Structure 1
Amino acid sequence: MSQTERRLFGTDGIRGVANRAPMDASTALRLGQAAGRFFNRGSHRHRVVIGKDTRLSGYMLEPALTAGFVGAGMDVVLVGPLPTPAIAMLTRSLRADLGVMISASHNPFEDNGIKLFGPDGLKLSDNEEAEIEALMAGDLSAQLVPPARLGRASRLEDAPGRYIEAVKASFPKGLSLAGMRIVVDCAHGAAYKVAPTVLWELGAEVVPVGVAPDGFNINRECGSTAPSRMAELVRERRADLGIALDGDADRLVLADENGQILDGDQILALVARSWAAQGRLRGGAVVATVMSNLGLERFLEGAGLKLLRTKVGDRYVSERMREDGCNIGGEQSGHMILADFGTTGDGLVAALQVLAVLAESGRPASAVCRPFEPLPQRLVNVRYAGASPLQDPAVADAIAAAEARLGSRGRVLIRPSGTEPVIRVMAEAEEEALVEDTVMGLSALIRARAAAGPLPPRAAVPASTTTAAAIEVK
């Protein structure tokens, strides 16, 4: 099965509605069998680490995956609810062959997902996922091990403590959070215990919110996708900083002492400037996706640094960081990959880098955490059914017209979501009215073409041009 023929894996593992294919127990069982077969190489005892967030459906998927891996001859180490970066870290520190995180990240509790990490703690490549998917589509019964070679399952009781100590080690020695009041919203998710503990042990006065998961309330009106309550608490409690994590704590947004929200672009700029001043920034660049604001690019250029853009997805950011020798990368949505401390996005580690700048400077967050003024930007999601409306020639013509209209003043990005049937329509420019007009016009056309059904694409415009890279307009 080639990369383009993948059906189960999207931009961040497998995701869907819980207890419905592909996010059901039978698929999870086959995934465990296939991934176990794929990584069951060599004569050593094979091991897989499985973590999860706090969704009710985790209780269904975790044992199904465990059964699949055990049947493939792999020992399973269960760690319970922990952030995604903790699973990547434990996979490496335990010398496991594979790490699995059961989470749908920022999605509501009805959804769930499965992310896979290789022995190096990195997310699997497109080709590796395609190979596992091909195994799932075949006859797995002949690939299962005999009874004497079945794996075993055990629980690692000190897993949270191991992650807590690793995160604390990312904070500069000699600094303390003493005297700081910090609001931390854990989205009733995977970090509901470890995040407040880390901040408290580093000396902060902690105001926790979103730390009472019940299986249903993950990301519900809280966390990084709904940070208004966190920002309100920052103002009410006169806190120095607010931190909002998502359900699996691999991304964050912040709020300064006035409750002003700060997205991933601002965090990237702040950490890059700090590390460059300390001589710690590698590669002379920051890696981000096509979604990052032009304001970030201009800010970095003014500091003598480059912005290297990738497709949307922290996996692609991580790959580009390794290719170019960079140690800072991330997404506007709040995924922050700091290669000095981990292999995947870690919201808590990123927050500590910001807090280190505040502790060293003694200045309020409002004076430090907004290094640049972003250009007006607007994003609209257009849901569709059936074939992608991006194959319609009328849509391509409209994008070309938008390109001509914006010229050098901005850009347009139209891309399909990697996890749901949605077209994301984004524009940014120096004039807010121009952004609004561009986005609303394009999204209306795409919505209309989706309802009518796309026309056959022109012979000169193959279907492959619907990739994000091909239809980005600068």
Structure 2
Amino acid sequence: MGRKYFGTDGVRGRVGEAPITPEFVMRLGYAAGVTLVAREHLPHGEHPAVLIGKDTRISGYMLEAALQAGFAAAGVDVMLAGPVPTPAVAYLTRALRLQAGVVISASHNPFFDNGIKFFSAGGTKLPDAVEAEIEARLEQPMGCADAARLGRARRIGDAAGRYIEFCKSTFPNELDLRGLRIALDCAHGAAYHIAPAVFHELGAEVLPVGVEPNGLNINDGVGATRPDNLRQAVLAQGADLGVALDGDGDRLIMVDRGGEIYDGDKLLYVIAAARHAEGRLDGVVGTLMSNLGFEHAIGRLGVPFARARVGDRYVLELLHERGWKLGGENSGHIICLDRHSTGDGIVSALQVLAALRQQGRTLAEACADLVFYPQRLINVRLPAGFDWQADRAIAAARETAAAELGEGGRVLLRPSGTEPLLRVMVEGRDGAQVERLAEAIAGAVRSAVE
């Protein structure tokens, strides 16, 4: 059964429009709180406790207050971390032995969007069954616990410092970053006051970019979704490397000193090759969007490879199913389960830098064995309720492209899990052919929705 509110990464939408309204978010906090109270068997008089973190969107203040009220009404204590990356909430929830963590963020989306996503006590995404239970409670009237059972709230003053130390602990003790000039783009997002400290304290000279959030500029021309900004900063300032995060700090894109941009596939390969050389890599999980060249390069290492559905939660599920530790998406979500329970842009960057330090290589040298197939991705906006799978013209364009590519390429159409978009991807050996076929399919989609 399809879920009404939860998508692939929590509840998300435009602020002020359902479901991202103060009233709904308060009800969401209450429903999640009641679910926690029902599921937890704590000593008498002890309340379940959750951690709430947020990114730098101006709407975070409003939604934080609404969530806090909902949880308190359900009898759940709240710990407020303020602006911290999504993976910081996952870590702190686990480290503080709390019952759940909540992030107020719309990740790479513009400031006028926002969302609510949950972590379990173990620092992983909530299981589908728990999300379904919360959705069911949302259909019931909101109540309120007896006055003596209401939850309390307090702020954690050292949340950022705790997370900084955790990130540093994932980098080998015998290594440092001295001598490196790193341009660091924090997307005016949640990592703006954290990531520079991590890299500086490990010895790097940090050239900060996108560290002046004003509530409205998150992801605006900066960060992992706009890597050209980092590229320009690297070239202009003569940096050795560039590191770009997204608004909530769980994506990573890098740039080398020559201005070459390295996406999630390339960075995942650097980490995988280093783990393989150390004899500690059982397999790698990619997604349907992972480049065929990446899959072939992993195969040349003699390492098993598997594709998950697009979305870091599906990568994580397949990693747990296979018992593997490393996976990710070409968008920059990289999961290193030997370092963290979820994807983390800062931690992933440190794993790449550790591999380069240990091998004495540049990014270009570490990726020399990668030969990527040309890949074209086009996003086409869909009107509400449009059934693209039932449209014959779209199906015909897709079938024609697949037949022309044969076994030398791939065609993938999939809806975004967070935006009203259909993602059209074509991959093959000939770049001109890939471009032509992708535009043909995208054109068919645009014609169908007009």
- TM-score, length-scaled by structure 2: 0.96
* Equivalence for 2:13: 16
Query: What is the DSSP-based 3-state SS (H/G/I as helix, E as strand, rest coil) of the residue aligned with 2:117?
Result: strand
* Equivalence for 2:332: 334
Letter in 1 for 2:306: L
Query: For residues 387 and 128 of structure 2, what CA distance do their matches in structure 1 show?
Result: 21
* Equivalence for 1:454: none
1:237 correspondence with 2:237: yes
* Equivalence for 1:202: 202
96-105 or 231-240, which moves further after superposition?
A: 231-240
Deviations 1:377-419 (A, max 9, x none): 0011111213222222332233233222211100000011112
Task: Report the Cα offset of residue 369 of structure 1.
Answer: 4.4
1:395 correspondence with 2:394: yes
Aligned-pair Cα RMSD in Å:
1.2
Task: Report the Cα offset of residue 370 of structure 1.
Answer: 5.3
Q: Equivalent of 2:305, from 304, 307, 322?
A: 307
Deviations 1:21-69 (A, max 9, x none): 2111111100000000111131342000000000000000001000000
Letter in 2 for 1:46: P
Deviations 1:6-25 (A, max 9, x none): 12111111111112221111
Q: Is the 1:98–1:117 Cα contact (8 Å) retained in structure 2?
A: yes
Task: Report the Cα offset of residue 133 of structure 1.
Answer: 1.1
* Equivalence for 2:433: 434
Letter in 2 for 1:240: D
1:150 correspondence with 2:150: yes
Query: For residues 339 and 366 of structure 2, what CA distance do their matches in structure 1 show?
Result: 23
1:34 correspondence with 2:31: yes
Letter in 1 for 2:265: D
Letter in 2 for 1:407: G
Q: What is the correspondence of 1:106-117 to structure 2 with a 5 Å cutoff?
A: 106-117=108-119
Q: What is the correspondence of 1:286-297 to structure 2 with a 5 Å cutoff?
A: 286-297=284-295
Query: What is the DSSP-based 3-state SS (H/G/I as helix, E as strand, rest coil) of the residue aligned with 1:127?
Result: helix
Query: What is the DSSP-based 3-state SS (H/G/I as helix, E as strand, rest coil) of the residue aligned with 1:62?
Result: helix
Query: For residues 205 and 157 of structure 1, what CA distance do their matches in structure 2 show?
Result: 27
1:25 correspondence with 2:22: yes
* Equivalence for 1:348: 346
| Change in 2 beyond 3 A, CA 1:370/1:332 | farther
* Equivalence for 2:219: 219
* Equivalence for 1:137: 139
* Identical aligned residues as a percent: 52
* Equivalence for 1:167: 167
Letter in 2 for 1:31: L
Letter in 2 for 1:24: T
Q: Equivalent of 2:84, from 82, 85, 91?
A: 82
Letter in 1 for 2:135: E
Query: For residues 371 and 355 of structure 1, what CA distance do their matches in structure 2 show?
Result: 18
1:324 correspondence with 2:322: yes
Task: Report the Cα offset of residue 96 of structure 1.
Answer: 0.9
Query: What is the DSSP-based 3-state SS (H/G/I as helix, E as strand, rest coil) of the residue aligned with 1:116?
Result: strand
Query: What is the DSSP-based 3-state SS (H/G/I as helix, E as strand, rest coil) of the residue aligned with 2:307?
Result: strand
* Equivalence for 1:70: 72
380-389 or 80-89, which moves further after superposition?
A: 380-389
Query: For residues 291 and 420 of structure 1, what CA distance do their matches in structure 2 show?
Result: 17
Query: For residues 424 and 230 of structure 1, what CA distance do their matches in structure 2 show?
Result: 25
Q: What is the correspondence of 1:382-461 to structure 2 with a 5 Å cutoff?
A: 382-385=380-383, 386-451=385-450
Letter in 2 for 1:428: E
Q: Is the 1:266–1:370 Cα contact (8 Å) retained in structure 2?
A: no
Query: For residues 371 and 58 of structure 1, what CA distance do their matches in structure 2 show?
Result: 44
Deviations 1:327-370 (A, max 9, x none): 11111000011001111110000100111122223333332245
Gaps of 5+ in 2: none
Q: Is the 1:85–1:344 Cα contact (8 Å) retained in structure 2?
A: yes
Query: What is the DSSP-based 3-state SS (H/G/I as helix, E as strand, rest coil) of the residue aligned with 1:228?
Result: helix
Query: For residues 369 and 79 of structure 1, what CA distance do their matches in structure 2 show?
Result: 38
Query: For residues 209 and 73 of structure 1, what CA distance do their matches in structure 2 show?
Result: 41
Query: For residues 375 and 192 of structure 2, what CA distance do their matches in structure 1 show?
Result: 32
Q: Equivalent of 2:98, from 96, 99, 104?
A: 96
Task: Report the Cα offset of residue 371 of structure 1.
Answer: 4.3
* Equivalence for 1:471: none
Letter in 1 for 2:81: V
Query: For residues 420 and 231 of structure 2, what CA distance do their matches in structure 1 show?
Result: 31
Query: For residues 134 and 450 of structure 1, what CA distance do their matches in structure 2 show?
Result: 33
Deviations 1:107-155 (A, max 9, x none): 11111111111111111133322221111111232xx321111110001
Q: Is the 1:253–1:334 Cα contact (8 Å) retained in structure 2?
A: yes
| Change in 2 beyond 3 A, CA 1:81/1:370 | farther
- TM-score, length-scaled by structure 1: 0.92
8-17 or 358-367, which moves further after superposition?
A: 358-367
Query: What is the DSSP-based 3-state SS (H/G/I as helix, E as strand, rest coil) of the residue aligned with 2:361?
Result: coil
* Equivalence for 2:128: 126
Gaps of 5+ in 1: 452-474
Query: For residues 240 and 38 of structure 1, what CA distance do their matches in structure 2 show?
Result: 49
Letter in 2 for 1:338: C
Task: Report the Cα offset of residue 444 of structure 1.
Answer: 1.0
Letter in 2 for 1:258: G
Query: For residues 387 and 214 of structure 2, what CA distance do their matches in structure 1 show?
Result: 37
Deviations 1:236-292 (A, max 9, x none): 2221110000000001100011111000000111100000111222xx321111011
Query: For residues 128 and 422 of structure 2, what CA distance do their matches in structure 1 show?
Result: 21
Q: Is the 1:231–1:242 Cα contact (8 Å) retained in structure 2?
A: yes
* Equivalence for 1:265: 265
